[in-house]
Amino acid sequence: MPLDDIKNVRFEKLKAIQKAGLNPFPGTTKRTHEIKSALEDFSKLSKSGKEIILCGRIISKREHGGSTFCHIKDGSGQIQIYFKKDGLGEKGYQFFLDNFDIGDFIEAKGFLFETKRGERTILISDFKMLAKSLLPLPEKWHGLQDVEERFRKRYLDLIMNREVLQKFVMRSKIISEIRNFLDSEGFLEVETPILQNIAGGARAKPFKTHLNALDLDLYLRIAPELYLKRLLVGGFEKIYEIGRCFRNEGMDFAHNPDFTMLELYWAYKDYKELMKFVEKLFEDLIKKLFKKTTINYEGKEINFKTPWQRIEFSSLIHKYTKIQIEDLSRDALAKKAKTLEIEIEKNENKSRIADEIFKKICLPKILEPTFVIHHLIELSPLAKSLDENPSLAARFQLVAAGWEVVNGFSELNDSLEQRKRFKKEEQERAGGDEEAQKFDKDFIEALEYGMPPAAGLGIGIDRLVALLTDSHSLREVILFPTMRPR
């Protein structure tokens, strides 16, 4: 039957319910138990003969003469409900058959019992419509087109696929456990602006908007970093923020225009100490979630038992490409990249060419949790350089199963050096690099008042959730990912 015809039939049923003097969308219900609690207390409730009231969505319906079996589910679980013509009377039983469909929300009152097949069931003594559905639930998902539809209509995906719902329950647990860990370690959660005068703290093209009240152009933040560092200047020593960031960039399995980031800053620490802290955080998180230090991702076992390997950025590139980036000029490295079938933009400097080689060639080959350390300093305009080699950053990235999950470094707190780097970024921006950072005069002024030595990091929450839930794409772990309109 065409969808419009189904909708019309259901609309007639809605009018029949109203004609019977009933509200198909009542504002109250008398639920006594969630389904899960009713099943957990099944023995006690069934022996007592006490009537209970459950509520949920009808997800199946099977008629057998004078009997009808349905399954309903709420947020806690599902149960079978049993309608008998003998118990409800012919009029009440027929009213249910005529007007209730799969997808409707129902209030089901009755007695718990176990069928001959051993299924725990509630024998209905009374029922009430809670919300009439006008569109039918899909029977199943299959094929690429339907995968796209799942993301567009996530609510249907959650109804039809229990494992998808559980994935988002796990996402919530992951964030909660991280929060609990950081709070227990003495970190303070703070909030910084999403609307910013200058989009800074990372290399990215921002989204632009306009505030009418002040006739002011603003940007959605690409990172909270520069505001969090202002808080270090102000006297906070251990802070973090979990929030949405926005980058007007390409979309693929590892990128979505809006995403959730955790950023953390810790005064009087350096990047080496922060790496040890990340190991402690991840080991604690994974043990609490899985009761062990290993996870399975795309059929492979990954062990998060610490300590993890640390490998130099340049050494990793040499390992997989035999390229010695230190010995090559920008143009020579660009030629090498082309032989690896990596496209290079005209305005990309040597450091970003090296980063492209790392992302395309090296990153997919890293399975076990690994700290990639000491990137070229031009990649990290907000990081301190190494004392022993100023061309390298005091920086690390945590990579596992091909995902860049964590990025951290010793924070640059020299206002004079930061000014130079911002000016260099401005020059690159003038040369056509839209992702280069703008000169942030207010942040420089904050640094001039003095910021303590500190280490900071960012954790891509969506990427971490994808890794820990064995998901291939960020769209699988973001409830409402950005989609192209049909």
Sign of the CA dihedral running 14, 17, 18, 22: negative
Q: What is the pTM of this model?
A: 0.93
Name the nearest CA neighbour of 239 among 178, 182, 180, 172: 182
User: How high is the pLDDT of residue 428?
Assistant: 87
What is residue 20's DSSP assignment? T
Q: Do 202 and 112 have their domain in common? A: no
CA distance 444 to 415: 6
Domain count along the chain: 2
Q: Are 420 and 408 in contact (CB under 8 A)?
A: no
CA distance 470 to 466: 6
User: How high is the pLDDT of residue 140?
Assistant: 63
CA distance 235 to 477: 36
Range of the domain at 62: 3-131
Name the nearest CA neighbour of 35 among 11, 8, 56, 63: 56
172, part of any domain: yes
Q: Do 48 and 183 have their domain in common? A: no
pLDDT per 10-residue tile (average), the chain, 486 residues: 92 98 96 97 95 97 94 96 96 97 97 96 98 90 67 92 94 98 98 96 94 96 97 98 95 94 98 98 97 96 97 97 94 94 87 95 97 96 97 98 97 98 91 87 98 98 98 96 87
Q: Do 83 and 168 have their domain in common? A: no
User: How high is the pLDDT of residue 280?
Assistant: 98
Q: Do 171 and 205 have their domain in common? A: yes
Which of 131, 162, 188 delimits the end of a domain? 131
Which of 96, 131, 166 delimits the end of a domain? 131
Query: Which tens digits make up the pLDDT trace of 84-110?
Result: 999 999 999 999 999 999 999 999 999
Q: Are 310 and 279 in contact (CB under 8 A)?
A: no
143, part of any domain: no
**Helices 313-321 + 350-357 axis angle, to 10:** 60
Name the nearest CA neighbour of 476 among 459, 463, 485, 486: 463
Give the pair of three-digit tokens for residue 305: 């038992």
Query: Which tens digits make up the pLDDT trace of 313-357?
Result: 999 999 999 999 999 999 999 999 999 999 888 878 899 999 999
User: How high is the pLDDT of residue 223?
Assistant: 97
User: What is the side-by-side order of every strand in the sheet holding 403-410?
Assistant: 188-189, 238-246, 258-267, 454-460, 403-410, 395-400, 370-373, 309-312
Buried b (16+ CB within 10 A) or exposed e, 295-328: bebeeeebebeeebeebebbebbeebbebebeeb
CA distance 269 to 273: 6
357, part of any domain: no
Q: Do 72 and 202 have their domain in common? A: no
Domain with residue 452: its CATH number is 3.30.930.10
Name the nearest CA neighbour of 347 among 469, 262, 470, 432: 432
User: How high is the pLDDT of residue 196?
Assistant: 96
CA distance 401 to 297: 7
Q: Do 385 and 416 have their domain in common? A: yes
Name the nearest CA neighbour of 327 among 346, 354, 359: 354
Q: Do 222 and 120 have their domain in common? A: no
Which of 131, 166, 195 delimits the end of a domain? 131
Q: Do 375 and 259 have their domain in common? A: yes
CA distance 407 to 227: 18
User: How high is the pLDDT of residue 141?
Assistant: 56
- Chain mean position to CA 107: 33
Q: Do 70 and 187 have their domain in common? A: no
CA distance 128 to 30: 10
Q: Do 239 and 93 have their domain in common? A: no
173, part of any domain: yes
29, part of any domain: yes
328, part of any domain: no
363, part of any domain: no
β-strand partners of 246: 258
Domain with residue 11: its CATH number is 2.40.50.140
User: How high is the pLDDT of residue 174?
Assistant: 98
Which helix (H) or strand (E) covers residue 107, if one does?
A: strand 105-114
- Beta-strand relationship, 216-220 and 67-73: unpaired
Lookup result for tokens 């020299």: 414
245, part of any domain: yes
Q: Do 31 and 120 have their domain in common? A: yes
* Helix (H/G/I), strand (E/B), else coil: 356: helix
Give the pair of three-digit tokens for residue 56: 């949920």
Q: Do 207 and 112 have their domain in common? A: no
Phi-psi region of 50 (alpha: psi -120 to 50; beta: other; left: phi over 0): beta
